[in-house]
Structure 1
């Protein structure tokens, strides 16, 4: 079921399937900034990542002596959410554990995704509630895809990413979706990351603990831009499916993929969040379109 929100500046559409954002439109030019999900390249638009971010080694993990199977980015993106609250400026979606999730993830939880519009910004808030009698382990993250280029007649080479602060940043390299303990310098005392069609030929750019809390997709030929604020998110992924794919994903993460030599124990997983019984975790990222 699709629900819509709009104010004087933007419009959004969200589906109960995966609580996934479907459209993000700037009203002044009726431009949709969000990738439309053409399966020729990538059939998703802005999936919710939970209870893991990235890939597990051998697509499995261990907890309390038991082995559990889970595919990349977890199961939330494929679940039907319930629209539990709606107002003039926000939509809130929720899922809880079920027999099906307990087979993959042996914890009782509630996950809420709240979309709020204000001016030309969309605030996406995540709330995880531990409904279990024990500590739970989880990651949560975002995976929004934006058109690249944003304007017809432009090329991918016209675009760049501008970080909020000058960075000396390495990307953490992936091998079949797993971190391989190698890095490669991407930024040296610079805010600007140039983009090329082959930028993602070796998979996503994965960053840890950047100084910046914002990054903006910009063009040298037009003034359309997308800013993603990821304050409080320790990891950031940037990805596109191929040199030909006309989109780019800017992904705030509260978790990260396994390493090639991971033990598989969820308690030891890098970036995993731990939440005591009865406690809640919240985080928010913001998308601003201009």
Structure 2
């Protein structure tokens, strides 16, 4: 099952499973911006990463001296969300913690994802509510995959990512176990542009911390179409594509994979969010399409 919302500019479709965005079509340009989800490369389009982002060391964390197991990116993407609200141009999806989840993640919660259209932009807002009696520890991230090339007659390498500010930022390599190495490597060196090439992602995602920019744009010099992705409220950014696949993921994260030397204690995990009993936490990103 899926839900479609639209306005005069955009038509957007979201699966109820995982509340996963899978289509953004510009009505005036008749242009699709989302990756097709071809399972030959990567069968997803925009999974929600919750209650962890990335990989845990040995897929295990410890909380109150007890070991818990979670697979990469957590479990929210695998569950069907309830459609809590829907209008012509917005929809709210709800996932409540269930008994089976609590065996892997002992924090009762409600996760709401709100999709709303604002002219030629889509805003996606995440709200986490701690419905349990104790402090809740979690991470949350987005993973939307945008189609590249965007136009017939152009190539992957004809497209680039542009930052609003000049960046001088290293990236943190990912180990073969999916963990972050402790020594960053040079990457963005006094530039505001990355030319897309498939070889960029040969060693998994490009993980960036402390970017100065709050907008990343996907553009091409061969045509006038693209998108501006605003992620002000997220401290980490991942850029990724499956090997040889015609997409690029722009992934804002509140949270990050374990480092290779992490002690696996959840409460001191890098980037972990804390939410008091009864509290609410919200973050959002916005993408404008042209």
TM normalised by structure 1 equals 0.98
Gapped regions of structure 1 (runs ≥ 5): none
SS at 1:198's partner residue? Answer: helix
Q: 1:194: which partner in 2?
A: 195
CA RMSD in angstroms comes to 0.8
SS at 1:157's partner residue? Answer: helix
**1:33-74 alpha-carbon deviations (Å, 9 max, x no partner):** 001111000000000110000000111111111111100000
Q: How is 1:104-115 mapped onto 2 (pairs within 5 angstroms)?
A: 104-115=104-115
What is the distance in 2 between the residues matched to 1:125 and 1:222? 30
**1:202-226 alpha-carbon deviations (Å, 9 max, x no partner):** 1111111111000011111111112
**1:92-137 alpha-carbon deviations (Å, 9 max, x no partner):** 0011111110011001100000000011100000000010100000
Q: 2:41: which partner in 1?
A: 41
2:97 equivalent to 1:97: yes
Q: 1:206: which partner in 2?
A: 207
What is the distance in 2 between the residues matched to 1:237 and 1:152? 27
SS at 1:49's partner residue? Answer: coil
Q: How is 1:12-91 mapped onto 2 (pairs within 5 angstroms)?
A: 12-91=12-91
What is the distance in 2 between the residues matched to 1:31 and 1:61? 43
Q: 1:145: which partner in 2?
A: 145
Q: 2:236: which partner in 1?
A: 235
2:252 equivalent to 1:279: no
What is the distance in 1 between the residues matched to 2:126 and 2:198? 32
Count of paired positions:
289
What is the distance in 2 between the residues matched to 1:39 and 1:127? 30
What is the distance in 2 between the residues matched to 1:184 and 1:160? 21
Deviates more, 1:151-160 or 1:280-289: 151-160
Displacement of 1:160 after TM fit?
Answer: 1.0
Displacement of 1:146 after TM fit?
Answer: 0.6
Q: 2:136: which partner in 1?
A: 136
Displacement of 1:196 after TM fit?
Answer: 1.3
Gapped regions of structure 2 (runs ≥ 5): none
SS at 1:104's partner residue? Answer: coil
SS at 1:199's partner residue? Answer: helix
What is the distance in 2 between the residues matched to 1:246 and 1:150? 9
What is the distance in 2 between the residues matched to 1:95 and 1:189? 42
What is the distance in 2 between the residues matched to 1:150 and 1:64? 49
SS at 2:52's partner residue? Answer: coil
Q: 2:180: which partner in 1?
A: 179
What is the distance in 2 between the residues matched to 1:120 and 1:211? 25
SS at 1:175's partner residue? Answer: coil
What is the distance in 1 between the residues matched to 2:156 and 2:32? 18
SS at 1:178's partner residue? Answer: coil
Displacement of 1:88 after TM fit?
Answer: 2.4
TM normalised by structure 2 equals 0.98
Displacement of 1:29 after TM fit?
Answer: 2.2
